Amino acid sequence: MSKALIPAMMCLFLVAATLMGAGKNVFDYTLNTIDGQPAPLSAYKGKVVMLVNVASRCGFTPQYTALEAIYEKYKDRGFVIVGIPANNFGAQEPGTNQEIKTFCQSKYNVTFPMMSKVSVKGDDKAPLYQYLTDKSANPNTGGDIQWNFTKFLVGPDGQIIKRFEPKVTPDSPEVTAAIESALASLKR
């Protein structure tokens, strides 16, 4: 093989790798439910999904109330919230999955799906969060998770529509408008 051919082949390899990654979306990932059962996110194809990294001992924990309220308001129209506990920020989610489940149900009456605790940053970052925070795959919404209660709104095709930082409450006009717009796109 000539030395002139090597750069061209490297370029083709990079283009191919980029194209293979370009087809990925949120529905390609599987988490475990809070009870430890596999939960392929593909089960939510055709729905509008909000993924939220949650914690029980955070200043933003009261957002569970608004999360449950918007879930109840929109669930019959094809909306689902997926709570994903993480202990990456200030050790604010130290409990076991069972303790987290009990807390969410008893304190906030959470009925939306809750997943097992994962890592959303660092060397042990869950594959879903590797994808969500990947700036090359998601230039408008990628970037490191800064704190608990970061919200990703995902369309029925598994593509990320919008990212909301923790200070933006789930029931804010900005969030509800984005949810309603995404729900309006659903074919009913």
> What digits encode the pLDDT tens for the residues 99-134?
999 999 999 999 999 999 999 999 999 999 999 999
**Strand pairing partners for 153?**
50, 162
- Catalytic choice (24, 45, 58, 95): 58
Helix, strand, coil shares, percent, the chain, to 5 = 35, 20, 45
b/e per residue, 55-72, with b = 16+ CB within 10 A? bbebebbebbebbbebbe
Q: What is the spatial distance between Cα 180 and Cα 175, in angstroms, rounded to a whole number? A: 9
* Domain boundary assignment for the chain: 25-184
Please state which CATH number belongs to domain 25-184. Answer: 3.40.30.10
Using CB atoms within 10 A of its CB, is residue 122 exposed (0-12), middle (13-18) or buried (19+)? exposed
Using CB atoms within 10 A of its CB, is residue 176 exposed (0-12), middle (13-18) or buried (19+)? middle
- Cα separation values, 68 from 33, 82, 175, Å: 17, 11, 14
Report pLDDT for 22. 54
Closest CA to 58 of 25, 81, 92, 34: 92
Report pLDDT for 186. 85
Structure tokens that stand for 152 in this block? 């990703």
Report pLDDT for 7. 47
**What SS3 class is residue 85?**
strand
Report pLDDT for 4. 54
Q: What is the spatial distance between Cα 167 and Cα 39, in angstroms, rounded to a whole number? A: 28
- Looking from the CA of 59 toward its CB, the CA atoms found within 13 Å total 6
Q: What is the spatial distance between Cα 121 and Cα 88, in angstroms, rounded to a whole number? A: 7
Report pLDDT for 1. 53
Is 11 considered catalytic here? Answer: no
Low-confidence ranges of the chain (pLDDT < 70): 1-22, 187-188
Report pLDDT for 9. 44
